[in-house]
Copies of this chain bind each other. A is one copy, B any other.
Amino acid sequence: MATLADVARRAGVALSTVSAVLNNRPDCFVSEETRRRILKAAEELGYRPNYLARSLARGKTETLGLVIYEVINPYFARIADEVERAAREAGYQLLLCTNRDDPEFSDQANLELLYHRRVDGMLVWASRYPPDGYFVPLPDEAKAKVVVLGYHTADGTDYVSVDRAEGTYRATRHLMALGHRQFGYLAPREDLRPDHPKLAGMLRALSEAGLPEPLLIPADGHFRRDGYQAALSAQEWRPRPTALICYNDLLAIGAYRGLREQGWKVPDDIALVGFDGIEDGEFLEVPLTTVAVPIGEMSQTAVQFLINRLEGRAAERQQLTLVPQLVVRQSCGAQGS
């Protein structure tokens, strides 16, 4: 592959001149004649800049790193999609890391990897819900290049978060208004903690209304199949809930099928509400009522925050918490479309 030196040689000028011309440096006065010669030589040689060398010299890679839980979950796929689009529009490429639950690829390892690859900035979705806010596992000077997605931070790092508690609070209130008094909450086993905001939001709504605590139903994961499995034991749920809120839409979709198999009709026998607002729920046979996270806004804002910071025009703190909206469809028994 042709290098700058090759082009310079061919055009009969200095390498630095070629660099100036090809980069369109504004303050460089190059005669039209020379410029043309250089452009021609570059064209003929099929010259393409070596991004590595450029990045090394400029100290900038024009690459953003995204650490995300996994990409097969439609919720995260949407995020990755939005982030990629926004990054691309701002002239950045995306380096993708998933953490899954693989201890070998912890957030720490992923972030360090990206940092050492000299990405200009990083977006990270924590792999586990951090009760007191997320601590970015990176030296301080590196934290300045990070925006946390989906969680608030405990160390002052920029973030765009989601008020999950408010989401489930609203869902619970809505169901209460429809007359429900016995609730169930289906979530991955490890997230069935009262300090998890999704559950906390429910608990608050219930206690405010003097209603009993919800029946906690554990799932083995956060996929459809896990919701399905969990719902197969519906006959044994005591006290029997008339409304079921799920940790996410996938679980709700799986549960829907399990409940049907157990002979429970949604919403007549049990009202069903999911969380996330992915397209899948809309096409459930009984369209799924859900707490919809504004994924596009969240992702785009996060990228914007990051780019502000990188370009030195960020406020000291860029922190935003978005409130998810309840999208009422038929699965909760309201008249919704």
Contact = CB atoms under 8 A, between A and B. Distances in A.
Interface stretch (A44-52, A160-168, A207-215): A44-52
Overall SS of chain A's interface: helix
Interface stretch (A35-43, A175-183, A279-287, A321-329): A279-287
A49 B56 CA distance: 13
Given A78-B72, A113-B93, A285-B285, A280 B280 contact: yes
A320 interface: no
Interface in A59-82: 61, 63, 70-72, 74, 77-78, 80-81
A253 interface: yes
A77 B115 CA distance: 25
Interface stretch (A94-102, A195-203, A305-313): A94-102
Interface in A98-133: 98, 105, 112-113, 115-118
A84 interface: yes
A72 B72 contact: no
4 closest A-B pairs by beta carbon, nearest first, are: A285-B285, A77-B77, A51-B117, A96-B96
Given A52-B56, A85-B98, A225-B279, 17 more contacts: A1-B141, A48-B112, A48-B115, A49-B116, A51-B118, A52-B55, A71-B81, A72-B77, A74-B74, A74-B77, A77-B77, A81-B98, A96-B96, A223-B279, A224-B280, A253-B283, A285-B285
